[in-house]
Amino acid sequence: MTRKVTKAIFPVAGLGTRFLPATKSVPKEIMTLVDRPLIQYAIDEARAAGIKEFIFVTSRGKGALEDYFDTAPGLEAALRKKGKLDLLQELKNTNMESGAIAYIRQHQALGLGHAVWCARRLIADEPFAVILPDDVIAAEKPCLQQMTEAYAETGGCMVAAMEVPADRVSSYGILDVKEDRGSLVQAAGMVEKPERDQAPSNLAVIGRYILTPDVLRNLNRMKQGSGGEIQLTDAIAEEIANGRDVFGLRFRGQRFDCGSKAGFLQATVAFGLARDDLREEFADYLTELIALQNAAQ
């Protein structure tokens, strides 16, 4: 029997350079899709998958993130006084239970693998999840829940996987496929950001992982890899080299790369159109805009 996954690491210590100048003072994870910050989508997904302990790997300048999860007594009192009970409820949903959330500092942005390693003492000896909040996944059943359900059957390590176009493989960790069972794939290897002609497949790793504590032990010995960073991919690949199972799950859902400007804009449009209170007005606006653009061409 596999052990239940109850801890998740949220690495949020990156520099977010693709969103400068905004990220000079606003953490990327606080940027909003409609009215909810990226981090809230990640937390909700983790909760749905049964996560009870939330570990944030942060860095200098990410104070707004810590404040976001605090209670806001002044604001709550003001909303209560005005009778805005819906908003009050909305706000309360963002509060975290005392002791459920921990913050660890990554003192230098040495890469995703290093960020995960920084949380090692809070994980100790149990399987854990890693969620990258800038990968937002819209799905009927939340992606991490799909993964924990599959993991209960397989054990080992599991990564979320998705086919990407051949000209995009060099932006991702790519799986070398040993056995393709449809939604589940067993990996024979993993390589971070390969050149297009060196990629073992076009099956890319997306920012959701279920990992064994062995991966943390591998990270203890990791040297800098692709891009001079300590790569999580390399530490997972070492598990395969050591004869342990690593699976990719082709999740059901739509993934938005909110770490890139184009992906963030696409997500904004999709999430805006998915909202009952905005759909009609927003769709009318988009239709009008496209008509105007077509007329101008």
Residues contributing to the site for ligand UTP (CB under 6 A): 11-18, 28, 57, 106, 109-112, 114-115, 132-134, 259
Q: What is d(CA 67, CA 95) in angstroms, rounded to the nearest whole number?
A: 10
Q: What is d(CA 137, CA 253) in angstroms, rounded to the nearest whole number?
A: 6
Nearer to ligand UTP, 17 or 25 (CB): 17
Nearer to ligand UTP, 24 or 181 (CB): 24
As measured in angstroms, the least distance from the Cβ of 229 to ligand UTP is 6
Nearer to ligand UTP, 79 or 118 (CB): 118
As measured in angstroms, the least distance from the Cβ of 131 to ligand UTP is 9
Nearer to ligand UTP, 133 or 173 (CB): 133
Kindly report the CA angle at 141 between 153 and 250, in degrees rounded to 5?
A: 60
Q: State whether the Cα torsion 10-133-87-50 is positive or negative.
A: negative
As measured in angstroms, the least distance from the Cβ of 130 to ligand UTP is 9
As measured in angstroms, the least distance from the Cβ of 128 to ligand UTP is 15
Nearer to ligand UTP, 127 or 259 (CB): 259
As measured in angstroms, the least distance from the Cβ of 124 to ligand UTP is 20
Which residues neighbour 6 within 8 Å (Cβ) at sequence distance 6 or greater?
50, 51, 52, 53, 126
Q: Are 181 and 154 in contact (CB under 8 A)?
A: no
Nearer to ligand UTP, 22 or 34 (CB): 22
**Chain residue at closest Cβ approach to ligand UTP:** 14
Tokens of 261: 């400007």
As measured in angstroms, the least distance from the Cβ of 109 to ligand UTP is 3
